[in-house]
Amino acid sequence: MMLNSAFAQKNLVTNGGFEDELYGWNNNGAQLTPYDFNTGKNSCAIVAANTENWVGVDQTIRVPKKARNIEFSAWLKAVNVVKGKNEWDGAIFTIVFLDVLEKEVGDGVNIARITGDQGWTLLSKKITIPDKAVSFKILIALGNASGTLLADDVMAKEVD
């Protein structure tokens, strides 16, 4: 039982603390910063001057065999985030499940959408894995928003 419990706590995210630069992440305009972080020595800084684009990072991860639920979490900080014209715009932390053809399964799950200013805050959500999902994508971005989003200690772990 102890071994199983320890296994359940394994972080499925590669380099979730951004200690190894942006290794493991697909980078769409983000940068590393050693000046403002939750733990360790770095965080991921996503900065946008206007609300015309999506800027951020994502990582696609295979769903562990027999997993039914995954708890996703990240420490996020927002500075002067202004959303674009749509309600869903802003600083986002979203999970999308994918099938074997890498097509979306169901709707994406938005764990956070932030505007304005917010100090370092732990945001988390337990999500049941949809049928036919073989992987998931973690997306942390400024979606049609300006300002700064900092991310650190991103985790995905299998839970009961």
User: For the chain, what is the domain count?
Assistant: 1
Residue 31: CB atoms within 10 A of its CB come to 13
User: In this structure, are residues 138 and 97 in contact, taking their beta carbons and an 8 Å threshold?
Assistant: no
Q: Containing domain of residue 19, as a range?
A: 2-159
pLDDT tens per residue across span 32-47: 999 999 999 999 999 9
Instruction: Output the domain CATH number for residue 41.
Output: 2.60.120.260
pLDDT tens per residue across span 13-30: 999 999 999 999 999 999
pLDDT tens per residue across span 129-160: 999 999 999 999 999 999 999 999 999 999 98
Predicted confidence band of residue 88 (pLDDT cuts 50, 70, 90): confident
Give the model's pLDDT for residue 59: 98
Q: What is the pTM of this model?
A: 0.92
